[in-house]
Amino acid sequence: MKNKSYIVHLAGIVAMIFWGMSFVWSTQVYQNLNPTATIFLRLVVATIFFTAILFTFHLNEKVKKEHLKLFALAAMFEPFLYFIFEGYGLKNTSPIIGSGIIAMIPLVTPIAARIFLKERLTPMNIVGFIISFVGVIVLLLNKNLEFAASPKGILFLCGAVLVAVGYSIALIRLTKLYKPLTITWMQNIVGMIYFIPLTIIMERFEPSNFSNVGGYIVPLICLGVFCSALAYALWAFAFSKLGASRANVYSNLIPVFTAIFSYLLAIEALTVNKIIGIIVVVAGLILSQIKPKNSTAANM
């Protein structure tokens, strides 16, 4: 039981590592392709990868017709709407600021989970959420303790936050019906279909530069395999065990990993306030996962 608990939390952390790096990889690809083309190709890579894995190892499940609407709804939220908002938000902000805004998801999700899923929150969960969010704010401040970001970029990213909450509600329902691999596979297929007409339309007015494919093919493949395939599968697994509220608090780790990777790749400096923010975020995350001694661990 205890070992299984560690596996669940490890899955959440690894997913956040991949998504934290996604802000860096996306920024690299956006130097050559616009967000719409990037997302579509990312989903193509993820779909090919997952199809090969599922059918090679005979892990595919049969999806019932009555559940297709739920898959369509989940994919409409994420990857379709979420990636549009996140993509154009990132194009107008830096990787660290972008990941920091996305980290607001855990603050909004408990409200929705309480309303739609009747999930219960302990005082320690709430304290952990608040502390972790304070850490995110500190992470976003510059050396003069000022928050500087494009209003347009912030608006897009806030849209991504709201969409992600809707996806969380749909996902928690799907995890009761199918395995994480099946959910992720279907999500990528439907999302890719959604993006086909949009990509054609957008590319007519904003032609992508495909001539420098060698400059972005590696980060594009990484986005597809690690971020759209493996990360979502791990995330669905963590969701099925932790519930929407407790699982989503891991989103606060995204700006932490983004800050670290951005520093290591010499994209953004790792300042004192960012280091303090990272420590506070992690502390809040740990507090949010503490369960009362008399609670059961049935889901673990």
With pLDDT > 70 as the criterion, what percentage of the chain qualifies?
Answer: 86
More confident residue, 267 or 198: 198
Note whether 138 and 273 are within 8 A (CB). yes
End-to-end CA distance of the chain: 7
> Residues 272, 50: contact at Cβ < 8 Å?
no
φ and ψ of 246, to 5 deg? -70, -35
Q: What is the pLDDT of residue 165?
A: 85
Decide: residue 267, CB within 10 A, 0-12 exposed, 13-18 middle, 19+ buried.
middle
Q: Which residues contact 158 (CB under 8 A, 6 or more apart)?
A: 101, 104
Other CB atoms within a 10 A radius of the CB of residue 52 amount to 10
Residue 64 is predicted with a pLDDT of 93
Task: Write down the pTM of the prediction.
Answer: 0.74
- Report the 10 Å Cβ neighbour count for 148: 11
- Rank 21-35, 44-58, 115-129 by mean pLDDT and report only the highest: 44-58
Q: How far is residue 203's CA from residue 283's CA, in Å, rounded to a whole number?
A: 44
Cβ-Cβ contacts under 8 Å for 78 (sequence gap 6 or more): 163, 164, 167, 187, 191
DSSP secondary structure, 113-128, as one string: IIIII-----HHHHHH
DSSP tag of 211: T
DSSP string of 186-198? HHHHHHHHHHHHH
Distance CA 40, CA 90 (A): 16
pLDDT for 185-231, tens place per residue? 999 999 999 999 988 887 654 455 566 777 789 999 999 999 999 99
**CA-based nearest residue to 188, from 236, 229, 237:** 229
Contacts of 298 (CB under 8 A, 6+ apart): none
Predicted confidence at residue 209, as pLDDT, reads: 58
pLDDT in tens, 50-98: 899 988 988 888 999 999 999 999 999 988 999 889 888 877 877 777 7
DSSP code per residue over 251-268:
GGGHHHHHHHHHHHTTSS
Dihedrals φ, ψ of 146, to 5°? -115, 145
